[in-house]
Amino acid sequence: MAVEGNILAKIRPSADEERHLSEVVRELKERVTTVLKEKGWEAKPILVGSVAKGTHLTGTEVDLFVAFPPDLPREDLELRGLALGELLERRARMYAEHPYTRGWYRGTEVEIVPCYRVQDATQRMSAVDRTPLHADYVLGRLAEDQADEVRLLKAWTQGVGVYGAEAKVRGFSGYLCELLVLRYGRFRAVLEASLGWSRGQKIELDRAATKEFTEALVVVDPIDGGRNVASAVSLDQLATFVHAAREYLRGPSERFFFPRPLKSLSVAQLRALAKRRGTGLIAVAIRAPAVTEDVLYPQLRKAHGALEDLLVREGFAVHDARFDVADEEALFLFELIVPALPRVIRHEGPPIWVRNAKEFVEKWTDDRRTLSGPFITGDRWSVDLVRDATTAEDLLRASAKGLSLGKDLEKSARRSLKVYEGTPALKAPYAPAWTRLLDKRFPWER
């Protein structure tokens, strides 16, 4: 337990920080209330998130929701919420189900989010309306000594790389960490319980599920049986959590909480490593559109899948791949078994006795792409054709822009898509991304 005691000394907010947070929250609530009165708007500021529940780590942000009456039109809710966001400095308009404001107040990062005032989850009109109910649920059940257990779990998930429900991470949210501690009691007890988890693991607290869930991990929201708090957790992040738990319990170390940063390989080191591996390397780069991460990363994931499907469909076996963002570019990296294929490709047709078999023979008999055939293999017609693109580079240059890459990426791809093969793909700005692809060590192993 000495490891956890040392960690808590580093991650628990100091008395001075707690005083500052209290002042920030008090002042912001007062200023929001003043604006509401001046405007004649009926609403109430509510502190939510980890600060409200006392489970925050040092350096945390403040989440201030403003609850409006349920009969307020959605457009007015959004406009009033953004108007209140003007109280913040260096503010930025963010977008979830509806817009909100992220900015700074007295050196502390703050989010001001409008929501509807509801008494239970069945009355919700937008996804964020549940959040004050989440705060009430945790505050009413979390024992005083469990706040530090939540802090440990949050810091540990950050260290092993699985913290955050946002699209970039697809991991464990702060609320999910709180519920897991409520369910199992202690930080280590959560890790021990996870050793028995597998795909589709289902966890319930005070409320049973009111629907079937198909995600990798299911933690039923205790205030809404139709919601899975762990819906964002991807299968590989769940597996990483379980593996990291096993390794930590076997040998507790601060490395799991504060891993060393991944040191990028140099271009020379990457070239030497690529030569040893003997595979083909391809980089597709598209100017990253100016959208939020929660908008960008689902499109990156979609585009990555479309590009990989294209390569596999045309015969280029993908050994490994990842997407990344580097130097204001969306980057798609592929390690191929072979980067080039022969000119000939076999195209299989229908069985010889089906009705449309004649059409296949007629189509390919005199086609300029036919190298040989049509001929019979087994009971089917086949033909050997000239491959449209014999290298992955040529294929991607010719076809990538026509794929479904996501609305913003597609627009950017039409103007900026570039393909690099071999040594040119290992340019210096891409070295960190290639390192993340080729260095398979877990964070605590660095």
Measured between alpha carbons, how far is 420 from 199 in angstroms, rounded to an integer?
Answer: 37
Which CATH number is 313's domain given?
Answer: 3.30.70.590
Residue 315 belongs to a domain: yes
For residue 353, the enclosing domain spans 344-386
Residue 332 belongs to a domain: yes
Is the per-residue pLDDT at 288 higher than 90? yes
The mean pLDDT of 318-340, rounded to a whole number, is: 94
Owner of token pair 């919700």 = 124
Please report the pLDDT score of residue 1 as a whole number: 67
Two structure tokens written together for 35: 């604006």
Q: Do residues 199 and 183 lie in contact, with contact meaning Cβ atoms separated by under 8 Å? A: no
The mean pLDDT of 244-248, rounded to a whole number, is: 98
Q: 31 and 82 in one domain? A: yes
Last residue of a domain, one of 208, 231, 256: 256
Please give the single-letter amino acid code of residue 139: L
Please report the pLDDT score of residue 37 as a whole number: 96
pLDDT tens digits, 352-373: 998 889 999 999 998 889 999 8
Q: 298 and 161 in one domain? A: no
Residue 262 belongs to a domain: no
The mean pLDDT of 210-225, rounded to a whole number, is: 95
Q: 64 and 189 in one domain? A: no
Question: Is the peptide bond preceding residue 374 cis, with omega within 30 degrees of 0?
Answer: yes
The number of folded domains in the chain is 4
**What would the 3-class secondary structure string for the chain be?**
CHHHHHHHHHHCCCHHHHHHHHHHHHHHHHHHHHHHHHHCCCCEEEEEHHHHHCCCCCCCCEEEEEEECCCCCHHHHHHHHHHHHHHCEEEEEEECCCEEEEEEECCEEEEEEEEECCCCHHHCCCHHHHHHHHHHHHHHHCCHHHHHHHHHHHHHHHHHCCECCCCCCCCECHHHHHHHHHHHCCHHHHHHHHCCCCCCEEECCCCCCCCCCCCCEEEEECCEEEEECCCCCCHHHHHHHHHHHHHHHHCCCHHHCCCCCCCCCCHHHHHHHHHHHCCEEEEEEEECCCCCHHHHHHHHHHHHHHHHHHHHHCCCCEEEEEEEEECCEEEEEEEECCCECCCEEEEEEEECCCCCHHHHHHHHHCCCCEEEEEEEECCEEEEEEECCCCEHHHHHHHHHHHCCCCHHHHHHHHHHCEEEECHHHHCHHHHHHHHHHHCCCCHHHC
Cα torsion for 159, 188, 13, 27, to the nearest 10°?
A: 100
Which CATH number is 59's domain given?
Answer: 3.30.460.10
Q: 38 and 124 in one domain? A: yes
pLDDT tens digits, 68-124: 999 999 999 999 999 999 999 999 888 777 789 999 999 999 999 999 998 887 777
Q: 190 and 160 in one domain? A: yes
Please report the pLDDT score of residue 407 as a whole number: 87
| Chain centre to alpha carbon of residue 297 | 7
Residue 158 belongs to a domain: yes
Residue 261 belongs to a domain: no
Q: 289 and 437 in one domain? A: yes
Q: 319 and 251 in one domain? A: no
Please report the pLDDT score of residue 103 as a whole number: 96
Q: 210 and 177 in one domain? A: yes
Q: Residues with Cβ < 8 Å from 353, sequence gap 6 or more?
A: 379
pLDDT tens digits, 111-142: 999 999 988 877 777 778 889 999 999 999 99
Last residue of a domain, one of 139, 156, 181: 139
Q: 206 and 94 in one domain? A: no
pTM score, two decimals? 0.89
Nearest to 115 by CA among 86, 83, 72, 61: 72
Last residue of a domain, one of 230, 256, 282: 256
Where is average pLDDT lowest: 116-130, 177-191, 255-269, 423-437?
A: 116-130
Owner of token pair 């794929």 = 403
Q: 409 and 329 in one domain? A: yes
